[in-house]
Amino acid sequence: MDDYLFGDLRNPEYRAIRLGKSQQGVRHNWEIDPLIPAAGDRPTLTVRIELDQRVEKVTCRLLEPENQDVRLSLVKIEWDELNWSYRQVWQGQLPARRDGELVQYKVLATLAGDAAPIEADDNTTFAYLVGEATPPAWSQEAIIYQIMPDRFHPGHGRSWNPVSKADDIYGGTLRGIIENLDYIQDLGFNCLWLNPFFPDQTHHGYHATDYLTVNPRLGSLEEMRELVEGAHAREIRLLLDFVANHWGSEHPFFRAAQADRESEYYPWFFWKDWPQGYETYFKVRQLPKLNTEHPGVRNYLLESASFWLKEVGFDGLRLDYAHGVSLNFWTWFRKEIKSIKPQAWLIGEVTDSPAAQTKFAGRLDGCLDFLLAQVLRNTFAIDRMNLSQLDAFLELHEGYIPEFYSRPSFLDNHDMDRFLHLAAGDKRKLKLAAMCQFTLSGPPIVYYGTEAGVIQKRSVRDPRGVGLPESRQAMLWGADQDQDLHAFYQWLIHLRRDHPVLATGERQTLKVDDQARTYSYKRFDPVEQVTVALNLSAEPRSLDVEGHVFQLPPQSGDLRIDSITS
Among all residues, which ones are annotated catalytic? Answer: 320, 349
Instruction: Estimate the crossing angle of helix 483-498 against helix 427-438, to 10 degrees.
Output: 10
Question: Helix, strand, or coil here: 241?
Answer: strand
User: Contact, 228 vs 234, CB < 8 A?
Assistant: no
The secondary structure of 407-437, three-state, reads CCECCCCCCCCCHHHHCCCCHHHHHHHHHHH
The secondary structure of 328-361, three-state, reads HHHHHHHHHHHHHCCCCEEEECCCCCHHHHHCCE
Euclidean distance between CA atoms 32 and 60, whole angstroms = 12
Euclidean distance between CA atoms 122 and 81, whole angstroms = 23
Positive or negative, the Cα torsion across 300, 306, 311, 313? positive
Euclidean distance between CA atoms 401 and 397, whole angstroms = 6
Question: Helix, strand, or coil here: 111?
Answer: strand
**Burial status of residue 186 (CB atoms within 10 A of its CB: 0-12, 13-18, 19 or more):** middle
List CB contacts of 162: < 8 A, sequence separation 6 or more: none
Bridge-partner residues for 91, per DSSP?
46, 73
Euclidean distance between CA atoms 107 and 443, whole angstroms = 37
The CA distances from residue 408 to 153, 391, 445, in Å, are: 25, 19, 7
List CB contacts of 420: < 8 A, sequence separation 6 or more: 426, 427, 430, 450, 453, 454, 455
Which of 131, 191, 198, 43 is CA-nearest to residue 334? Answer: 131
Break the chain down into helix, strand, coil percent, rounded to 5.
Answer: 30, 25, 40
Which H or E element spans position 14?
Answer: helix 12-23
